[in-house]
């Protein structure tokens, strides 16, 4: 397994955000984590990236314990993260944002190749190349956040709510892109409010309920499960 | 009119010192949103460090020829390095642990840090003004009725050169980009693989080193200093940073020169005693009509 999380507990002060969750992501997979607001989805990704220190439990990436590493070392280990709310650098141009995405890399030609690849996936970013990221639309910023996370050429890409706040048409585009990135060899762990779409694109899924994993399994069986349908897919549609 | 041009020269020299100090305030504020009240005292330390280095070099009077360049280089670089390290130590000891604390905690700590530095300097060099040797020959150039002293040219030149170097560093190097990224969004910077502790320490190093350079320049320009010198100068430099738009490098430079000019002009055309009133009134007016400062960007930090 590329990523193995075991009994992960995370707290904010006295509040327990994650109450011993375990999950795995295999090389080449798209795995999705779905659940209501406050269930602990974002905390899970932040713990993987080292932005939240786990209280206990372990996170292994490619067989190596990463739960005590600094965020910068985790990026170097091969994990990219497009955070919730996009978090692009607002007063920097698209170009500078992408350059920062490649901060851990030194070989100029590789960085140029990666930039070309990102601009190929998101032609819109090419048009906006010299524009300050803070002046772009939400959808453009989302593309930039994903593209920027790809610049470190991660083996595992963490995507936190990539479709949040986007128009239905852009949501479709983002999901097409997620498939495309995966098809080019990047493993993806995806958090989504849009459970239906997420389960359609993923091979496996986990359902998080108030800090614990409530259901897990193949994406198709989760999508068919009565409990999941009732809670997350808007009833037995 | 001659008086005006004379004060223009004087104001620019004064402004060069304020601008160098203001850069440190604005850099630190830009990256951790802290008003580092100890910064003015680091500037005074810069003068005392320069003095100590000159004493070590055995220099107590005017130096000529190539030796002068050597003495200046060693003293300025020495003061910059020592002040830079002081800044790094202050951040490590006093501010780092409070990074996620409520904003008031590091602010009070900064004021405490300022007292500590002032009292250390009081202990080290006593309560009276300490003379600073005239190391540079100070020929004066007459432009009509206006006199320009060599040391005024040095002040402005050094300030401008250091600012250009800083600007180039921040906008064109990898570490400079890391600093700007950390200033704009710390979480995102970490997700790019940037070590923000190192980046913040680097910011303190550079900002404090610039205060060290300003400290040397001030000693040379005024011919003396005392332990409490940084309080007033720091306050005006901070005003300069806010006037220009806090967090903005070019703004700090502009603000510094403006404050220097306003002070020189008020002293000449109104009265010495009114200079602080005018300086701070300008600040109030700017904040009322342009709260983000002259060059401050109004682009939201978080979208």
State the Cα angle at B49 between B48 and B52, rounded to 5°: 85
Strand partners, A5: A23, A59
**pLDDT score for B61:** 87
Report the percent of chain B where pLDDT is more than 90: 83
Please report, for chain B, the start and end positions of each structural domain, with discontinuous segments joined by +. Answer: 2-289
In a domain, A237, yes or no: no
Largest Cα span, chain B: 60
Q: How far apart are CA B111 and CA A132, in angstroms?
A: 36
**Could you give the 3-state DSSP secondary structure of residue A158?**
strand
**Average pLDDT for residues B133-153, to the nearest whole number?**
89
3-state helix, strand, coil in chain A (%, to 5): 40, 25, 30
**Average pLDDT for residues A7-11, to the nearest whole number?**
96
**Could you give the 3-state DSSP secondary structure of residue B149?**
strand
Structure tokens at B41: 């005292």
CATH code at A186?
A: 3.40.50.300
A129-133, A222-226, B122-126, B197-201: which has the minimum mean pLDDT? A222-226
Structure tokens at B213: 């350079």
**Statement: residue A236 has pLDDT above 50:** no
Q: Does the beta-carbon distance from B185 to A49 stay under 8 Å?
A: no
Domain tally, chain A: 1
- B86-107 pLDDT tens trace: 999 999 999 999 998 998 999 9
Q: How far apart are CA B144 and CA B154, in angstroms?
A: 21
Question: Structural domain of residue A24, as residue ranges?
Answer: 3-232
Q: How far apart are CA B167 and CA A45, in angstroms?
A: 36
In sequence order, which residues have a C-beta less than 8 Å from that of residue B215 and are 6 or more positions away?
B42, B43, B44, B45, B46, B47, B48, B49, B50, B79, B83, B225
**pLDDT score for A234:** 67
Strand partners, A18: A10
**pLDDT score for B303:** 28
**Average pLDDT for residues A212-234, to the nearest whole number?**
88
Q: Does the beta-carbon distance from B184 to A96 stay under 8 Å?
A: no
**pLDDT score for A38:** 87
Structure tokens at B298: 């109004």
Give the one of B189, B190, B299 whose C-beta lies nearest to A90's C-beta.
B299
Q: Is B25 exposed, middle or buried (0-12, 13-18, 19+ CB in 10 A)?
A: buried
**Statement: residue A235 has pLDDT above 60:** no
Q: Does the beta-carbon distance from B299 to A49 stay under 8 Å?
A: no
Q: How far apart are CA A63 and CA A83, in angstroms?
A: 24
- B13-72 pLDDT tens trace: 999 999 999 999 999 999 999 999 999 999 999 999 999 999 999 998 899 889 999 999
**Average pLDDT for residues A19-29, to the nearest whole number?**
96
**pLDDT score for A231:** 79
Strands A156-160 and B224-225: unpaired
**pLDDT score for B79:** 98
**Which H helix or E strand runs over B142?**
strand B140-143
Model confidence at A23, pLDDT cuts 50, 70, 90, reads very high
**Which H helix or E strand runs over B180?**
helix B174-184
Nearest-Cα distance to chain B for A47, in Å, is 12
Those residues of chain A whose CB sits closer than 8 Å to some CB in chain B are 49-51, 70-72, 75-76, 80-81, 83, 85-92, 96, 99-101, 103-104, 132, 134-135, 138, 141, 148-149, 152
Nearest-Cα distance to chain A for B173, in Å, is 11
Q: Does the beta-carbon distance from A86 to B178 stay under 8 Å?
A: no
**Statement: residue B302 has pLDDT above 80:** no
In a domain, A172, yes or no: yes
In sequence order, which residues have a C-beta less than 8 Å from that of residue A76 and are 6 or more positions away?
A104, B193
Strands A187-192 and A156-160: parallel
In a domain, A131, yes or no: yes
Half-sphere exposure of B298 (CA within 13 A, CB side): 5
Nearest-Cα distance to chain B for A51, in Å, is 7
In a domain, A209, yes or no: yes
- A166-210 pLDDT tens trace: 889 889 999 999 999 999 999 999 999 889 999 999 999 999 999
- Interface pTM, i.e. ipTM: 0.93
Tokens 């389960």 locate to: A199
- B208-227 pLDDT tens trace: 999 999 999 999 999 999 99
Contact residues on chain A for B298, CB-CB shorter than 8 A: none
On average, the pLDDT of chain B sits at 93
Q: Does the beta-carbon distance from B193 to A152 stay under 8 Å?
A: yes
**Average pLDDT for residues A215-226, to the nearest whole number?**
92
- Is the separation of the CB atoms in B204 and B90 below 8 Å? yes
Q: Does the beta-carbon distance from B191 to A100 stay under 8 Å?
A: no
**pLDDT score for B298:** 60
**Statement: residue B297 has pLDDT above 80:** no
Model confidence at A229, pLDDT cuts 50, 70, 90, reads confident
- B239-292 pLDDT tens trace: 999 999 998 999 999 999 999 999 999 999 998 899 899 999 998 998 899 989
In a domain, A225, yes or no: yes
Query: What string of DSSP letters covers B218-232?
Result: HHHHHSEE-TTHHHH
Report the percent of chain B where pLDDT is more than 70: 98
**pLDDT score for B262:** 95
Q: How far apart are CA B197 and CA B32, in angstroms?
A: 11
User: Which CATH topology does B2-289 take?
Assistant: ABC transporter involved in vitamin B12 uptake, BtuC (1.10.3470)
Q: Does the beta-carbon distance from A71 to B191 stay under 8 Å?
A: yes
**Average pLDDT for residues A49-77, to the nearest whole number?**
96
Q: How far apart are CA B175 and CA B244, in angstroms?
A: 24
Nearest-Cα distance to chain B for A50, in Å, is 9
């Amino acid at each position: 397994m590329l990523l193995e999380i075991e009994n992960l507990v995370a707290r904010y002060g006295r509040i327990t955000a994650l109450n011993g969750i375990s999950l795995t992501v295999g090389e080449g997979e798209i795995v999705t984590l779905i659940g209501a607001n406050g269930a602990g989805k974002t905390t899970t990704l932040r713990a993987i990236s080292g932005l939240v220190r786990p209280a206990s439990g372990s996170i292994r990436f490619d067989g190596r314990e990463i739960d005590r590493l600094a965020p910068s070392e985790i990026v170097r280990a091969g994990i990219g993260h497009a955070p919730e709310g996009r978090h692009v650098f607002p007063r920097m141009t698209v170009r500078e944002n992408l350059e920062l995405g490649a901060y851990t890399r030194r070989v100029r030609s590789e960085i140029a190749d990666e930039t070309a690849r990102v601009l190929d996936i998101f032609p819109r970013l090419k048009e906006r190349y010299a524009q300050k990221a803070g002046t772009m639309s939400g959808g453009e910023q989302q593309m930039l956040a994903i593209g920027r996370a790809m610049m470190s050429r991660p083996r595992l890409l963490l995507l936190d709510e990539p479709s949040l706040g986007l128009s239905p048409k852009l949501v479709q585009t983002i999901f097409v892109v997620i498939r495309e990135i995966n098809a080019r060899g990047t493993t993806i762990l995806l958090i989504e409010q849009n459970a239906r779409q997420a389960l359609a694109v993923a091979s496996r899924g986990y359902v998080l309920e108030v800090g614990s994993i409530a259901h897990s399994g193949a994406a198709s069986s989760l999508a068919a499960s009565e409990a999941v349908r009732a809670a997350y897919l808007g009833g037995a549609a | 009119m001659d008086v005006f041009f004379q004060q223009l020269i004087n104001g620019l020299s004064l402004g060069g010192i304020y601008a160098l100090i203001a850069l440190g305030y604005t850099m630190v504020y830009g990256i951790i949103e802290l008003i580092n009240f100890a910064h003015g005292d680091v500037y005074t330390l810069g003068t005392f460090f320069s003095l100590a280095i000159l004493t070590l070099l055995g220099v107590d009077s005017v130096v000529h020829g190539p030796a002068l360049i050597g003495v200046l280089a060693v003293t300025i670089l020495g003061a910059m390095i020592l002040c830079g390290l002081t800044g790094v130590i202050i951040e490590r000891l006093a501010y780092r642990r409070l990074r996620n604390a409520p904003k008031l905690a590091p602010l009070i700590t900064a004021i405490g840090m300022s007292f500590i530095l002032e009292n250390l300097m009081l202990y080290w060099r006593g309560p009276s003004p300490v003379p600073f040797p005239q190391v540079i020959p100070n020929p004066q150039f007459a432009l009509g009725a206006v006199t320009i002293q060599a040391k005024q040219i040095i002040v402005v030149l050094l300030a401008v050169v250091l600012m250009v170097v800083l600007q180039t560093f921040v906008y064109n190097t990898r570490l400079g980009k890391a600093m700007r990224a950390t200033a704009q969004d710390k979480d995102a910077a970490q997700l790019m693989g940037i070590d923000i502790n190192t980046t913040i320490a680097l910011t303190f190093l550079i900002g404090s080193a610039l205060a060290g350079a300003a400290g040397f320049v001030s000693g040379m320009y005024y011919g003396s200093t005392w332990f409490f010198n940084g309080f007033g100068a720091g306050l005006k430099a901070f005003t300069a940073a806010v006037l220009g738009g806090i967090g903005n490098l070019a703004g700090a430079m502009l603000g510094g020169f403006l404050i220097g000019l306003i002070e020189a002009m008020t002293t000449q055309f109104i009265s010495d005693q009114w200079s602080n009133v005018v300086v701070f009134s300008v600040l109030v007016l700017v904040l009322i009509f342009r709260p983000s400062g002259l060059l401050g960007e109004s682009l939201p930090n978080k979208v």
